[in-house]
Amino acid sequence: MNNAITLTVDADGIAVATMDLPGRPMNVVGDELMTALAHVVERVVSDDAIRGLVLTSGKADFCAGGDLDRMSKWQDPREPFEASMAMKAVLRRMETMGKPVVAAIGGHALGGGLEIALACHARIVLDDPKLKLGQPEVKLGLLPGGGGTVRLPRLLGIQTALQIMGEGADIAPAKALSMGLVTELAQDRDDLLAKARAWCVAHPKAKQPWDEARFRFPGGDSRSPAVAQLWSIAPSVAAAKSYGNYPAVTHIMSSVFEGGLLGFDAASAVESRYFAACAMSQESRNMIGTLWYQLNAIKKGASRPAKVPPSKVTKLGVLGAGMMGAGIAYVAAKAGIDVVLLDTSIELAEKGKAHSHGLLDKAVRKGRSTPEKRDAVLARIKPTTAYEDLAGCDLVIEAVFEDRAVKADVTRQAEAAIGPDAVFASNTSTLPITSLAQASGRPSHFVGLHFFSPVDRMPLVEIIVGRQTSDETLARGFDFVLQIGKTPIVVNDSRGFYTSRVFATYVMEGITMLEEGVHPRHVEQAGLQAGMPMPPLALQDEVSLSLSLHVIEQTKKDFAAEGRAYQPHPAESVIRQLCEIGRVGKKAGQGFYDYDDDGKRLWPGLARLYPPAAAQPPQRELIDRLLFVQANEAARCLEEGVLRSVADGNIGSIFGWGFAPFHGGALQFIDAMGPKAFVARARELAAAHGARFEPAAIVVAAAEQGRRLAG
């Protein structure tokens, strides 16, 4: 036996098995843990002195889920199938051994961790609102392959089980208790073990409900009329959300449906087959690669200069209390940082603080916070008009109007008030950082921190390194982004940086299609089918056409000043035309869509301005155009050194503008199909639609050398 689980037996004959994988920060389900659990079960079965088993953890978490390192090595579908069957054989033996088993859960029990707990006869859980229970597999393109799709429907009913596994959301202990997912809550760790032991003593002949002769699915099995009704709509509801891009969602439903017609063991085998299909899918490889490995690498500081010691911001200055400044003040104060929020009048500064008040009141109303916590956060935000109040700030972020002169003015005034070591950051969305730094007396301490709107919800901050930004300044910006719980990507200075530049290609491609005579509904549908969160024309309305026109004009001016030839994008004429007739977007109530209280509808006048062609292209062509144009631009960013790593490119695309997550990001899109196939298709698209599809040289080189962008 390995030492992944230690076993002690008390005087009452209750054995306590403590899972504690050596050398790992968390317990994960793999061979080591399951072999140890199998030994524990045999010992409990064979030792007459043992009357029951309590399964708990020696780590902060109960068990974090499957071992992704192991899964990433699987090459053949037989491997996941066999691993899943082997795990379930141990769990089945445990729940049918004739002695009570209780999970004593003092920390997160997720994925395979919750599945182990579901194979126990009772689950006692520490009543800590931060503790998470759930089956998040779907978020990585997987399916609960440790009996989740078999036991959850039998415990909670098919509908609830589908919800838990289809959404992958975390469930807090109190909610889990009300759903019937857990048996009892405990106040502290002593109480947890005491209650688990007591449950064993009180239920010496514990049996799972599904092993009772008269077992019935709560709410009915897949044959029952009520559930049949659910089955007639659930797949269409899921397809309407996922456009068929997430096979795991379909596999989860199929496994639950088929399992709901079968006995326990047959259902288990069916589940393992669907698990293997998920584990082998390109979608799960993409999501695990990016949203697990690359994201973790970024969070551990892969893009941060390693030599600079870690830093913390204790006092932050925010210049401009508008939409962005107010949001930045809120997230910083929530992270425990004192914030000075400065605007041109005290009313505007107070209004910025009121934004935090509103968000916090909502959290209190929803039970996610308390009045005391709200007041503590608000007390950290000091609205002001006085630059002297910035004294002592470690970091100042400006979020004033997007105007060089205004930005230069606030930079000088703030620098006069802060210490020589403080970092100054700009939240500009378009102006090159190197040029803004010209207003600074110490450009080495100047950096771009590009937040996204709405700041409280968007997870990404794009850090822009100007020509003179020092490594120390970059590291301090990086540490601050992590301190406020956001994910940083690091890019070099360039027009539109990375995110705005690539995002724009998506919207502009959609508008170009419209101009060519593609029906606007087909354009919008293609955006959603491609896996983007919003279709291109609707997105352009959100951003506003007037803002895009402003950026276009500015770019043209800059090109002229630099003596470079400017090539207008085919979409520009459409943006100009709509702006001329006042259809500037959602804020005006009219753009590509008409807006009113009932929602939005495509503007019928579009058909007059851009008559749909008699022959419409296939949707696949439109989807490819929308995805290839983004991926190719992202590759150009890598080629030009705007992007410093593939991980930053992938995470930036998913977290920044919602690039189809199942592709694993804009660069993984290329790696997944292989640079060779990408180059071939991009050349076809270039021949049909223009030079913007001509594949980036870096992809052509990768194709020729038979390697991937990620190496």
Q: Does 402 bind ligand NAD (CB under 6 A)?
A: yes
Q: Does 56 bind ligand NAD (CB under 6 A)?
A: no
Is-contact 680 670, C-beta < 8 A? Answer: no
Number of residues lying near ligand NAD (CB under 6 A): 24
* β-bridge partners, 54: 16, 102
444: exposed, middle or buried (Cβ count in 10 Å: 0-12, 13-18, 19+): middle
At its nearest, how many Å lie between ligand NAD and the CB of residue 407? 7
Q: Does 399 bind ligand NAD (CB under 6 A)?
A: yes
Q: Which one-letter DSSP state was computed for residue 618?
A: P
Q: Residues 378-416, buried b or exposed e (16+ Cβ, 10 A)?
A: eebbbbbeebebbeebbbbbbbbebeeeebeebbeebbe
Show the site string, 348-377: x = touches ligand NAD by CB under 6 A, - = not.
Answer: x-----------------------------
Q: Which is nearer to ligand NAD, 323 or 602 (CB)?
A: 323
In this chain, which stretch among 45-53, 397-405, 523-531, 677-685 interacts with ligand NAD, using CB under 6 A? 397-405
Q: Which is nearer to ligand NAD, 424 or 451 (CB)?
A: 451
Residue 104 CA to residue 122 CA, distance in Å, equals: 9
User: Which residues within the stretch 441-460 sit at the binding site for ligand NAD (CB under 6 A)?
Assistant: 450-451, 453
Is-contact 447 466, C-beta < 8 A? Answer: yes
Q: Closest by alpha carbon to 205, among 43, 14, 51?
A: 51
Identified catalytic residue from 95, 398, 462, 509: 462
Q: Does 429 bind ligand NAD (CB under 6 A)?
A: yes
In this chain, which stretch among 197-205, 255-263, 426-434, 655-663 interacts with ligand NAD, using CB under 6 A? 426-434
Q: Which is nearer to ligand NAD, 397 or 574 (CB)?
A: 397
At its nearest, how many Å lie between ligand NAD and the CB of residue 542? 10
Residue of 272, 281, 303, 428 interacting with ligand NAD (CB under 6 A) = 428
Q: Does 86 bind ligand NAD (CB under 6 A)?
A: no
Q: Does 401 bind ligand NAD (CB under 6 A)?
A: yes
Residue 301 CA to residue 273 CA, distance in Å, equals: 38
Q: Which is nearer to ligand NAD, 30 or 652 (CB)?
A: 652
* β-bridge partners, 594: 590, 601
At its nearest, how many Å lie between ligand NAD and the CB of residue 319? 5
What's the one-letter identity of residue 382? Answer: K
Q: Which is nearer to ligand NAD, 124 or 399 (CB)?
A: 399
At its nearest, how many Å lie between ligand NAD and the CB of residue 399? 4
At its nearest, how many Å lie between ligand NAD and the CB of residue 429? 4
Q: Which is nearer to ligand NAD, 215 or 401 (CB)?
A: 401
Residues 6+ apart with CB under 8 A from 203: 52, 100, 121, 122
Is-contact 446 468, C-beta < 8 A? Answer: yes
Q: Residues 637-672, buried b or exposed e (16+ Cβ, 10 A)?
A: bbbeebbbbbbbbbbbbbbbbbbbbbbbbbbbbbbb
In this chain, which stretch among 64-72, 200-208, 337-345, 581-589 interacts with ligand NAD, using CB under 6 A? 337-345
Residue 27 CA to residue 37 CA, distance in Å, equals: 12
At its nearest, how many Å lie between ligand NAD and the CB of residue 593? 19
User: Which residues within the stretch 194-253 sit at the binding site for ligand NAD (CB under 6 A)?
Assistant: none
In this chain, which stretch among 83-91, 302-310, 396-404, 689-697 interacts with ligand NAD, using CB under 6 A? 396-404
Bridge-based pairing state of the strands 122-126 and 184-186:
parallel
Is-contact 576 515, C-beta < 8 A? Answer: no
In this chain, which stretch among 155-163, 422-430, 463-471, 576-584 interacts with ligand NAD, using CB under 6 A? 422-430
User: Which residues within the stretch 304-333 sit at the binding site for ligand NAD (CB under 6 A)?
Assistant: 319-325
Residue of 149, 272, 427, 632 interacting with ligand NAD (CB under 6 A) = 427
How far from chain centre, in Å, is Cα 462?
16
Which residue lies nearest ligand NAD, judged by its C-beta?
Answer: 322
Q: The tokens of 3 are what? A: 């030492």
Kindly report the backbone phi and psi dihedral angles of residue 165, in degrees, each rounded to the nearest multiple of 5, phi listed first: -85, -30
At its nearest, how many Å lie between ligand NAD and the CB of residue 545? 15
Q: Which is nearer to ligand NAD, 147 or 352 (CB)?
A: 352
Is-contact 149 271, C-beta < 8 A? Answer: yes
Q: Does 410 bind ligand NAD (CB under 6 A)?
A: yes
Distances (CA, A) of 609 to 519, 541, 570, 574, 585: 12, 17, 15, 9, 17
Q: Closest by alpha carbon to 397, among 467, 468, 458, 455?
A: 455
Q: Does 344 bind ligand NAD (CB under 6 A)?
A: yes
At its nearest, how many Å lie between ligand NAD and the CB of residue 471? 24
* β-bridge partners, 382: 340
In this chain, which stretch among 138-146, 274-282, 394-402, 579-587 interacts with ligand NAD, using CB under 6 A? 394-402
545 backbone φψ class: left, alpha, beta (φ>0; ψ -120 to 50): alpha
Residue 302 CA to residue 295 CA, distance in Å, equals: 10
Residue 231 CA to residue 234 CA, distance in Å, equals: 5
At its nearest, how many Å lie between ligand NAD and the CB of residue 67? 39
Q: Which residue has the tokens 């579009």?
A: 606
Q: Which is nearer to ligand NAD, 234 or 433 (CB)?
A: 433
In this chain, which stretch among 33-41, 130-138, 294-302, 336-344 interacts with ligand NAD, using CB under 6 A? 336-344
At its nearest, how many Å lie between ligand NAD and the CB of residue 291? 24
Q: Does 400 bind ligand NAD (CB under 6 A)?
A: yes
Is-contact 102 124, C-beta < 8 A? Answer: yes
Q: Which is nearer to ligand NAD, 12 or 347 (CB)?
A: 347
462 in active site: yes
At its nearest, how many Å lie between ligand NAD and the CB of residue 125? 41
Q: Which is nearer to ligand NAD, 70 or 357 (CB)?
A: 357
Q: Which is nearer to ligand NAD, 91 or 395 (CB)?
A: 395
How far from chain centre, in Å, is Cα 623?
23
Residue of 283, 343, 493, 633 interacting with ligand NAD (CB under 6 A) = 343
Q: Interface residues with ligand NAD (CB under 6 A)?
A: 319-325, 342-344, 348, 399-402, 406, 409-410, 427-429, 450-451, 453
Tell me the catalytic residues.
462
